Amino acid sequence: MKIFLTSIVGLIIIGKAIGMGSISDSHFISNKGSMMSMTEASKIAEKEVNGTVKNIVMDKDNGHLIYHIDVIDNENSSNIDIQVDAKTGSVLKIKEDLSNVAEQYRQEIGQNAKISKMEAIAIARNITPGIATKVDINTKYDYYVVELSNQNENHKIKVDANSGTIIN
C-alpha cells in the first residue's frame, strides 16, 4: 500500500512539474516572435521619463506581451510605472506612484507639526474618552484623525496638527 501511494504522489508531482513547464514554455515561445529585449525596453523607459530603471518584468496582458517597468525619476526621486509593448516598443502607459511622495510629506508634517500624535490622542480623549485604535494625519489640510473606541461605539475626531484645536 505504501509503495502504491508513494508512486501516485510521485506521478502527481512529476505531472505537475511537466505540465507547468510546458504551459510556461509554450506561453512565451508561441508569442515571442520579434520581441525587443529587456535592455531595449529599459532604455525606452529611461528616456521617456529621464530616470533609472529599478525593476522590469514581462507579462501577458490581453494577449499582448508587455514590459512593466518601475523607474525612479532622476529629478524628484518619485516612482513611475511604465508599460512598454514588447513587440513594438510603444509606451502604453505612464503612471506616477505617489505613495512614496505622500509618505515623505506625511513624515515632514509629523516632524514640523506643533502637536505630536500622543498630544492629538490626549486632546481627542478630552472630547470623547476611549482607546485610540488608529491615528493618521491628513496631509492636505494638516490635521490628525484620531479614531477612538469605547465599549460599542467608535469615534473619529479631527485635531489640527499645528494648533491642537478640534475640527468639526
**What amino acid occupies position 109?**
I
Ordered mean pLDDT values, 10 residues apiece, the chain (168 residues)? 45 42 35 78 90 89 90 78 92 75 55 78 89 81 87 89 90
- In this predicted structure, what is the pLDDT of residue 160? 92
What are the C-alpha distances in Å from 131 to residues 3, 126, 148? 60, 12, 5
Distance CA 29, CA 56 (A): 19
| Structure confidence by residue, pLDDT tens digits, 61-99 | 888 899 999 988 877 667 888 999 999 999 998 887 655
Q: Are residues 64 and 113 in the same domain?
A: no
Domain count, the chain: 2
- Classify each residue of 35-65 as buried b or exposed e, where b means 16 or more C-beta atoms within 10 Å of its C-beta: bbebeebbebbbeebebebeebeeeeeeeeb
CATH number, position 37: 3.10.450.40
* Nearest of 59, 45, 55, 28 to residue 89 by alpha carbon: 45
Residue with cell 504522489: 9
Q: Could you list the residue range(s) of the whole structural domain that residue 131 is in?
A: 102-167
Single out the residue in 46, 74, 97 at which a domain terminates: 97
Q: Do the Cβ atoms of 70 and 79 come closer than 8 Å?
A: yes
- In this predicted structure, what is the pLDDT of residue 17? 41
